[in-house]
Homo-oligomer: A and B are copies of this chain.
Amino acid sequence: MFFHDKRLQYHCKPDRPDPLFACKLQEVLGGQWGEISVFMQYLFQAWNCRGPQKYRDMLLDIGTEEIGHVEMLATMIAQLLEGADADTTEAVAKSSSAVQAVLGGSSPKDMMMAAAMNPQAQIVFGQGAAPCDSMGNRWTAAYIVSSGNLLADFRMNVTAESQGRLQVCRLYNMTEDKGVRDFLSFLIARDTMHQNQWLAAIEELRADGLEDTPCPSSFPQELEAKDFSYAFLDFSKPGTESAEGRWARGHAPDGKGTFQHIVEPKPHGPVPDLAGRADPRWYATPPVPTPPTTI
């Protein structure tokens, strides 16, 4: 069960409206690696957790925090969209006729607004934040993962915090608004924490003897086609730059094998042949002419 505190986790007030930046900021609200993705992902992992309670609790802690991040982003975006239209209009009205010529065909006001932002911010969302990314793609649960296997899922969580922090850092470079930058510095700090948190959780899984590489570790490794378990296959020619990397020599990180570099990968299977085995009821093209048929 959840409760809401009307106060925000951190302050998020821009120095001034900036509808263009509002549209960009949508990426980390409703994009593939935005805050909706992480809160939904962590909560589903928690609700489906059949492992030790400390993992479930930790997932609930962070998943709950992330809903509050969506709230702050939505609030920030709504403020960035405020009042901006009138200002822009005024600026255009004062501008030189050369500029108006460029804006041509339609009215300068409309053209400027159209060029400046996602039109749905006004037509659909009425100056409000949207459950979308920076291109207006609606958020989809196709982004998230909850497999039941905590190692597989925590690796996804490290990824999410890495891609997310990367995107916020890029956005930091796209604005000079001090209020916005202060807010982003909070998100970046939390992503630093959360990258570390998931890396620590992966260590903990191993220390607890619950999961290890290769994941899932409780599949009996002797059932693998072992000749291929530590072989690096070089499929891109000419040149063998890839042989210079750590992945092509020495002990594998799982401590269970040694990397080999295979310069000329061979096919181990035959040329497949499906010819002549089509069921006539489905009218797939057969290898030889066949008479009309139904069943």
Q: Contacts A16-B105, A201-B247, A220-B293 known; A125 to B140 CB distance under 8 Å?
A: no
Whether the pair B246, A201 counts as a contact (CB closer than 8 A) is yes
State the CA gap A147–B124 with chains docked (Å).
6
State the CA gap A165–B211 with chains docked (Å).
14
10 closest Cβ contacts across the A-B interface? A126-B148, A48-B128, A8-B269, A148-B284, A91-B104, A135-B136, A7-B267, A131-B141, A216-B283, A60-B236
A61 touches which one: B57, B213, B242 (CB < 8 A)? B242
Which A79-128 residues have C-beta < 8 A from chain B?
79, 82-88, 90-92, 94-96, 98-99, 101-108, 110-120, 122-128
Whether the pair B271, A6 counts as a contact (CB closer than 8 A) is yes
Chain A interface residue count, Cβ-Cβ cutoff 8 angstroms: 230
Whether the pair B158, A163 counts as a contact (CB closer than 8 A) is no
Which A234-263 residues have C-beta < 8 A from chain B?
234-242, 244-248, 252-254, 257, 259
State the CA gap A110–B217 with chains docked (Å).
24
A204 touches which one: B95, B144, B247, B280 (CB < 8 A)? B247
| New A-B contacts (5) at CB < 8 Å, excluding given A65-B235, A189-B228 | A47-B74, A102-B103, A193-B229, A200-B247, A219-B294
From A74, A151, A285, residue with most partner B Cβ within 10 Å: A285
Whether the pair B200, A245 counts as a contact (CB closer than 8 A) is yes
Residues of chain B within 8 A (CB-CB) of A192 are 214, 221, 224, 229-230, 254, 257
In the complex, what's the smallest C-beta–C-beta distance from A285 to chain B, in angstroms? 4
Q: Contacts A138-B142, A268-B10 known; A290 to B2 CB distance under 8 Å?
A: no
In the complex, what's the smallest C-beta–C-beta distance from A238 to chain B, in angstroms? 7
Residues of chain B within 8 A (CB-CB) of A72 are 269
Residues of chain B within 8 A (CB-CB) of A112 are 102
Whether the pair B139, A20 counts as a contact (CB closer than 8 A) is no
20 A–B pairs (Cβ distance < 8 Å), ordered by A? A5-B237, A10-B269, A18-B105, A20-B110, A24-B123, A32-B142, A47-B78, A50-B127, A52-B287, A54-B244, A64-B235, A98-B99, A107-B175, A128-B148, A139-B141, A142-B143, A149-B285, A198-B247, A200-B245, A220-B293
Residues of chain B within 8 A (CB-CB) of A65 are 2, 233, 235, 265
Whether the pair B231, A193 counts as a contact (CB closer than 8 A) is yes
Whether the pair A64, B3 counts as a contact (CB closer than 8 A) is yes
A277 touches which one: B3, B83, B142, B242 (CB < 8 A)? B83
Encode A8-50 as 1/0 by CB contact (under 8 A) with B: 1111100011111101100100111000100010011001111
Residues of chain B within 8 A (CB-CB) of A197 are 232, 247
Residues of chain B within 8 A (CB-CB) of A269 are 7-12, 72
Whether the pair B162, A146 counts as a contact (CB closer than 8 A) is no
